[in-house]
Amino acid sequence: MNEAQAVNILREAIVLILLLSAPALLVALVVGVVISIIQAATQVQEQTLTFVPKIIAVFIMLLVLAPWLLKMLVNFTENLYARIPTMIR
């Protein structure tokens, strides 16, 4: 394996990490903003109020997107294993 192959694998892994984590981060961000708007409107300034809705929303998102997330991870792993013979040369 040369440096170009190692850099390419690392780049693909970083892109995959970003793709897999983006939905959870976006859901947490949206729920946090909505809860903050509700808190500002009702003048309830409890800092811990946002945690439970965020956790529930991210969990539901993971349940809904689990097949897609797993498919992306399995495809990356299969491609990595398929490239092993070419890396040994």
Tell me the one-letter amino acid at 30.
Answer: V
Q: Report how far residue 31's alpha carbon sits from residue 63's, in angstroms, rounded to the nearest whole number.
A: 17
Q: What is the pLDDT at residue 35?
A: 92
pTM of the model: 0.79
Rounded to a whole number, what is the largest CA-CA distance in the chain? 65
* Residue range 35-67, pLDDT digits in tens: 989 988 988 878 788 899 999 999 999 999 999
